[in-house]
A and B are shown apart, each in its own frame.
With several copies, the nearest count.
Chain A
Amino acid sequence: TDQQPSSQSEEEASEETATEEATEEATEETSAEQTSQASDADIPAAVDKPLKIAAIMEFSTGTFASQYVSGLEAQVAKFGGEVQIYNANNDLSQMANHLQTAINQDVDGILIDHGRAEALNQGVEEALEKGIPVVTFDNDITVDGVTAISQDDYSLAWGTLKQLAQDIDGEGNIVYVWAGGFTPLERRNVIYEAFLEHYPNVEEIARFGSVSNNTALDSQNQMEAVLKKYPEEGSIDAVFAPYDEFAKGVTRAIQQAGRDEIKVYGIDLSDEDLQIMQAENSPWVTTAATDPAEVAGVQVRFLYQKIAGEETPSIYALDPSVVNVSDLPDESVTMADVGQHIEGWGSPNAARSPWMDALEAKNGQ
């Protein structure tokens, strides 16, 4: 538990990219092969039955989390299994309890979404001892034998901030929406601080933010105050809102104040976010994201590979994409077809073993 998340994760980041590319190539090859010669016989016995999977989540509010859950449920259902969602509602000790409950239940595999290593390491170790494989998403658990996938918050933040810097030409006044206490937000903040250092001509003139069950409305009200404080056109160039609930509220405030010259740069994407971004004259121009449903799919597939006894990497980072509204067509787009417009969006074949199609086909009826 005495690791140094920040420095280490940065190393991770570079490592991850390498591993991930390798894996991707590997899986793509195998999947191309396997489609032609799939048959029931190839399905490993360990996964050829209805499996009980537990998904331990730190929270499930917001559209990102909702779509992540649907992604999990869809992928597990395709494999003929059943997934149990353990939601800790932002309570880490509850999350640790849930993990323990899942272990006591003798589930076949455990997925973990967010949370912190210090709280969960013990449980994860216990799970591994009992032979229950674990795949984590977006946290700092680094127990041997666990596959940790991440949407790489550092790249997410950097992606959208890079676009911001380009758009304002490295100079201007920006507003920052942020709240501490959440691992992803804290990581994104690390990049933001670096960004400010890197672009000395970019000045943060206001900062606010709070996370509640009504984050979007709170952000909206607070952004209104900021807009009133800087009423002249051009006094604010951009808003960096590294969480889509922030971005939604900020966007609405700007729209309703008619200050369309201010642009919003967000992180995360969901169907709802897409709608808002694609609305006419939407100030929300850029977001950086991975597809939550796909994150879920990858995570589930790694878990099944582990159950089947296959080798899996210890870390795997999904490449985030920067989504600019300008890259999207005029007609409205859903998450399912963002990939047709944004290059590199989604890699549906990551972590796909040859027998998976057969398993899906078998449970298709």
Chain B
Amino acid sequence: MKQLNISDYPQQADRKERIVNFFMKFGTLLALGLIIVIFSLTNEQFLTYGNITDILRSISIVTLVAIGVTFSMIVGGFDLSVGSTVSLATVASGALLVWYSQELLVVLLVPLVLGALIGLINAFIVVKIRIPDLIGTLAVMYIINGVHLTYTKGYSIYGNMPMPDGSGTAPGIFIPAFQFIGQGRLFNIPFPVILMVVIVALVHLFLNYTRAGRLFYMTGGNKEAARLSGVPVNRYRTYAYVLSGVFAALAGIVLAARIGTGQVSAGDPLLMDGVAAALIGYSVFGAGKPNVIGTFIGAIIIGILLNGLTMMNVPYYAQDIIKGGILVGALALTYFRKKE
């Protein structure tokens, strides 16, 4: 009798429904598979080891941003400020290296702390003042953008640059140990890829197999029920925004290391792609909710499209059409059944 409960109940779904369910669950993965097949048929270089690691490396930054976005979505929120946080972190690590010749540890820690701080500000605005997330974090986005541009007076930061205030040449450079984060390789695998895969795995385990991870989901699933079950929901919402900020900052560090510059406004384009990746993730395995494996697959889809379409010489603007189409398709899979 007990065994019966655990084993799957007989699924009485008829054939048509089974097909629909199958597509709901695996549609996105099928689409990914299809894309890969098409690209490898049209281009024999597509499925080479080198290209695959390149694709993974190119999505590593977006994936980190998207993981942060996923956290905010899990608790039922939304964080539009991640792009500006990436920019701030990029500029901060650049400034620490170049203007202040700091050590690696400092260069890594300060941006992460800044990211956490931005998360706290977001949490204050959204959780405490109760401004709707979308709008509150939009305002923070403006502010952070302004702050990081004001700090550098609009200049990008690179090794031994002339100081913006005209006081000679900056003393520091982008040290190799730092550049390794974005450009290095371990066992012939790009370091950012390793970093990304490890973080995806850790976050997946965290979200699914730890108490705290489940409490995030509970908070997002039903704030009131979670509160009544004894979950300190406001604390977990705050954590989520802080994590969102920290992951964005980490993405900023990797970005700075990858391009070797503290590029102002560099994070702006990452917001949309990060959000798109997290949203595509909803549809993976029919999860219907934010999940980190889905987010990862979403980022892979976006990365593969960029890579493959560029190889096929499709102009970047036409790529946007395909990106939008994929997004609509994935979302239709998630939401169309929810009709009624």
Contact = CB atoms under 8 A, between A and B. Distances in A.
Q: Do chains A and B touch in the complex (CB under 8 A)?
A: yes
B266 A116 contact: no
Interface stretch (B68-76, B160-168, B197-205, B211-219): B160-168
Given A66-B155, A66-B156, A256 B183 contact: yes
Contacts of A2: 159-160, 173
From B46, B58, B149, B174, residue with most partner A Cβ within 10 Å: B58
A225 B311 contact: yes
Nearest to B153: A180
A225 B304 CA distance: 10
Interface string A166-206: 00000000000011111000100010010000000000001
A231 B159 contact: no
A305 B202 CA distance: 51
A252 B260 contact: yes
B316 A92 contact: no
A273 B310 CA distance: 25
Contacts of B255: 93, 217
A63 B160 CA distance: 14
Contacts of A14: none
A273 to B, nearest CB: 10
Interface stretch (B25-33, B49-57, B325-333): B49-57
Contact of A86 (B46, B57, B179, B310): B310
A118 B159 contact: yes
The contact size tier of chain A is 35 or more
Contacts of B93: none
Given A92-B261, A101-B51, A6 B317 contact: no
A97 interface: yes
A4 B261 contact: no
B5 interface: no
Contacts of B164: 66, 70, 180
A295 to B, nearest CB: 17
A20 B308 CA distance: 39
Contact of A275 (B153, B159, B258): B159
A3 to B, nearest CB: 8
Given A118-B260, A228-B46, 16 more contacts: A2-B160, A66-B155, A69-B154, A74-B166, A92-B266, A93-B259, A104-B54, A180-B264, A213-B265, A214-B266, A214-B268, A216-B261, A217-B255, A224-B54, A228-B307, A256-B183
Interface of A: 1-7, 60-63, 66, 69-70, 74, 82, 84-87, 89-94, 96-98, 100-101, 103-106, 116-119, 121-122, 178-182, 186, 190, 193, 206-210, 212-214, 216-218, 220-222, 224-226, 228-231, 248-249, 252, 256, 271-272, 275, 332, 334
Interface of B: 43, 45-46, 48, 50-51, 54, 57-58, 61, 149, 152-156, 158-162, 164, 166, 169, 173-174, 179, 182-183, 255, 258-261, 263-270, 306-308, 310-311, 313, 315-317
